[in-house]
Amino acid sequence: MEQILEKDPHNALALYGRARSLDSLAEVERSNARLEQSIFAYRAVLDLEDQVDDHLYHKSALRCIDRMRFRGFHGKAIRIQQRLVARFPNDIEYQNQLAIGFLLTNQPEAARTILEGVLNRWPQSGFAQVHLGFILKTTYDDYDAGARWMMAGIASREEGVIDGRFYSHLGDALTRLGRHEEAQRIYADGEKEGVFRSHDQRSLYNVDRLTAQPWWDKEATTYGPFFDLLEANWRQIRNEGVALLTLETPEGFANESEKLRDSGDWKQFELFAQGRKNAAHCTKAPVTCTLIENYPPALCKRGQVKFSIMHPGTHVWPHTGPTNCRLRAHLGLVVPSGAKLRVGNTTKSWEEGKFIVFDDSFDHEVWHNGSSYRLVLIVDLWHPELTTDEWQSLAPI
Which residues contribute to the site for ligand LMR (CB under 6 A)?
308, 310, 316, 328, 341, 360, 364, 366, 376
Cα–Cα dist 115/142, whole Å: 16
Cα–Cα dist 220/285, whole Å: 29
Instruction: Using the minimum distance from each CB to ligand LMR, give the nearer residue, 231 or 365.
Output: 365
Minimum CB distance to ligand LMR, residue 319 (Å): 7
Terminal CA-CA length for the chain:
47
Paired with 358 in beta bridges are: 215, 328
| Residue 204 site contact among Mn ion, ligand LMR, none (CB < 5 to 8 Å, cut-off depends on kind) | none
Minimum CB distance to ligand LMR, residue 294 (Å): 24
Minimum CB distance to Mn ion, residue 157 (Å): 31
Minimum CB distance to ligand LMR, residue 163 (Å): 23
Chain positions 89 to 148 lying near Mn ion, rule: CB under 5 A, are: none
Among 48, 36, 54, 35, smallest CA distance to 9 is for 48
Minimum CB distance to ligand LMR, residue 344 (Å): 13
Minimum CB distance to Mn ion, residue 316 (Å): 7
What SS3 state is found at 206?
coil
Cα–Cα dist 186/189, whole Å: 5
Instruction: Using the minimum distance from each CB to Mn ion, give the nearer residue, 23 or 380.
Output: 380
Chain positions 348 to 367 lying near Mn ion, rule: CB under 5 A, are: 360
Instruction: Using the minimum distance from each CB to ligand LMR, give the nearer residue, 161 or 376.
Output: 376
Minimum CB distance to Mn ion, residue 340 (Å): 14
Instruction: Using the minimum distance from each CB to Mn ion, give the nearer residue, 88 or 317.
Output: 317
Instruction: Using the minimum distance from each CB to ligand LMR, give the nearer residue, 291 or 366.
Output: 366
Chain positions 315 to 354 lying near Mn ion, rule: CB under 5 A, are: none
| Residue 292 site contact among ligand LMR, Mn ion, none (CB < 5 to 8 Å, cut-off depends on kind) | none
Neighbouring residues of 246: CB distance < 8 A, sequence distance ≥ 6: none
Cα–Cα dist 208/204, whole Å: 11
Instruction: Using the minimum distance from each CB to ligand LMR, give the nearer residue, 54 or 258.
Output: 258
| Residue 310 site contact among Mn ion, ligand LMR, none (CB < 5 to 8 Å, cut-off depends on kind) | ligand LMR
| Residue 281 site contact among Mn ion, ligand LMR, none (CB < 5 to 8 Å, cut-off depends on kind) | none
Rg of the Cα trace of the chain? 26
What SS3 state is found at 198?
strand
| Residue 366 site contact among ligand LMR, Mn ion, none (CB < 5 to 8 Å, cut-off depends on kind) | ligand LMR
| Residue 341 site contact among Mn ion, ligand LMR, none (CB < 5 to 8 Å, cut-off depends on kind) | ligand LMR
Where does 219-325 show beta strands of DSSP type E?
A: 254-255, 261-263, 266-273, 276-277, 304-310, 314-319
State CA 138 to chain mean position distance.
Answer: 12
Where does the chain show beta strands of DSSP type E?
A: 215-216, 254-255, 261-263, 266-273, 276-277, 304-310, 314-319, 326-334, 339-343, 346-348, 355-358, 364-368, 374-382
Q: Which residue is nearest to ligand LMR (CB)?
A: 308
Cα–Cα dist 315/370, whole Å: 12
Interface ranges with Mn ion (CB under 5 A): 360
